[in-house]
């Protein structure tokens, strides 16, 4: 079934990419529509109709949540309730096995992201929420997909191409957030050795700046930023490393001189506890800048992957995603938790509202 309607040009739908079709992405998208029709109203899936229909059948909700094929993105704003609207942006896919790395799946997932980010850059959609893709499958798809370690790098490259700048001149950062903690990373998908090498004065300064600007727009005030140290006990005065003395402290001092509300370096084994917001503790900071991927992501994910959201800062568009992967081990079983996907959709809408 296809839907064709006309809508005012000043309204925009929210695009949700289907993710790797062999993973849980399609399932958690369907569950999100079923569990919170209000949050998903005006959203649509960028992907393959057949993949979403298979997910609907895996969840045994085919009779209650039919898949509707759209002609264009704007039609998502007026589809009937209790439907899964899908825009077919790739050739119809063959049926692929659940839970397996597959080059065809990687290419399909990548093409959906390419379409969605280009639509967002042209302001054809309000924001992009990306379901999980599998990095190995993306790489197996070959050029150009194998250039990108993940979503963040792909989005950065597309944004740079759109505004006709070198990628290096479009710096982005990953922020992981839940109801209790936000953390932004200096480096993302690199080895630990490369991550340590990435702790430079320009990189730390740039991360502080991107974080400050992004959260100031969201919070409506200057954010309280904490910067974690790299070494145990933040170097213990140089006993356990000099990065804090020679790089991180100078970066914090320069940022403070520019009017940024930032403190650090703070011992990484305590800074996240100090920033955590709970009913009993307001939290000393609005966000923690972590020096590398696992330093920042472990605390957020430990508090509950089901509520974590990945936000890409520094892009000329809104992009969020669930804070988990493709979960090949449970794909197709209908048991995947959609909470993080729903949080990503809600956060994307909130960020769009703040930009308006």
pLDDT at 72: 95
Q: How far apart are CA 33 and CA 37, in angstroms?
A: 5
Q: Determine the average pLDDT of the residues in 59-84.
A: 91
Q: Is the pLDDT of residue 5 over 90?
A: no
pLDDT at 305: 64
Q: How far apart are CA 88 and CA 197, in angstroms?
A: 42
Which position has the higher pLDDT, 115 or 179?
115
pLDDT at 11: 63
pLDDT at 3: 37
Q: Determine the average pLDDT of the residues in 305-321.
A: 89
Ordered by start, the domain boundaries in the chain are 1-170
pLDDT digits (tens, 9 = 90+) for 340-353: 999 999 999 989 98
Intra-chain end-to-end CA distance of the chain, in Å: 34
Question: What integer best gives the mean pLDDT of the chain?
Answer: 92
The CATH code for residues 1-170 is 3.40.718.10
Confidence of residue 301 (pLDDT cuts 50, 70, 90): confident
The residue assigned the tokens 């938790």 is 337
Q: Determine the average pLDDT of the residues in 180-206.
A: 95
Q: Is the pLDDT of residue 2 over 50?
A: no
Strand partners, 44: 15
Q: Is the pLDDT of residue 9 over 50?
A: no
pLDDT at 322: 94
Q: Is the pLDDT of residue 306 over 80?
A: no
Which among 300, 299, 235, 228 is positioned nearest to 266, based on CA atoms?
A: 228
Predicted TM-score (pTM) of the model is 0.88
């Amino acid at each position: 079934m296809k839907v064709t309607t006309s809508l005012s040009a000043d309204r925009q739908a929210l695009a949700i990419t289907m993710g790797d079709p062999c993973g849980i992405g399609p399932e958690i998208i369907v569950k999100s529509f079923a569990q919170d029709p209000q949050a998903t109203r005006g959203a649509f899936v960028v992907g393959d109709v057949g993949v979403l229909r298979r997910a609907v059948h895996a969840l045994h909700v085919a009779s209650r949540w039919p898949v509707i094929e759209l002609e264009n993105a704007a039609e998502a704003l007026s589809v009937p309730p209790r439907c899964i609207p899908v825009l077919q942006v790739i050739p119809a896919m063959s049926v692929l096995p659940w839970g397996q790395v597959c080059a065809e799946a990687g290419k399909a997932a990548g093409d959906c992201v390419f379409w969605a980010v280009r639509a967002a850059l042209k302001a054809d959609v309000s924001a992009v929420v990306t379901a999980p893709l599998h990095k190995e499958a993306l790489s197996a798809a070959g050029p150009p997909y194998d250039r990108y370690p993940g979503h963040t790098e792909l989005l950065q490259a597309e944004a740079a191409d759109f505004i006709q700048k070198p990628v290096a001149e479009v710096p982005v950062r990953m922020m992981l957030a839940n109801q209790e903690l936000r953390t932004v990373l200096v480096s993302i998908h690199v080895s630990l050795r490369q991550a340590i090498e990435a702790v430079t004065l320009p990189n730390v300064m740039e991360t502080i700046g991107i974080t400050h600007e992004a959260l100031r727009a969201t919070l409506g005030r200057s954010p309280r930023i904490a910067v974690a140290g790299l070494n145990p006990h933040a170097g213990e005065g140089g006993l356990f490393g000099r990065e804090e003395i020679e790089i991180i402290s100078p970066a914090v001092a320069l940022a403070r001189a520019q009017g940024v509300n930032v403190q650090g370096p703070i011992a990484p084994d305590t800074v996240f506890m100090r920033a955590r917001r709970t009913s009993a503790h307001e939290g000393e900071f609005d966000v923690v800048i972590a020096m590398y991927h696992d330093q920042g992501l472990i605390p957020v994910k430990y508090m509950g992957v089901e509520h974590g959201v990945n936000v890409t800062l520094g892009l000329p568009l809104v992009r969020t995603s669930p804070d988990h992967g493709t979960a090949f081990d449970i794909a197709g079983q209908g048991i995947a938790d959609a909470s993080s996907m729903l949080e990503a959709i809600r956060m994307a809408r909130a960020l769009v509202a703040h930009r308006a």
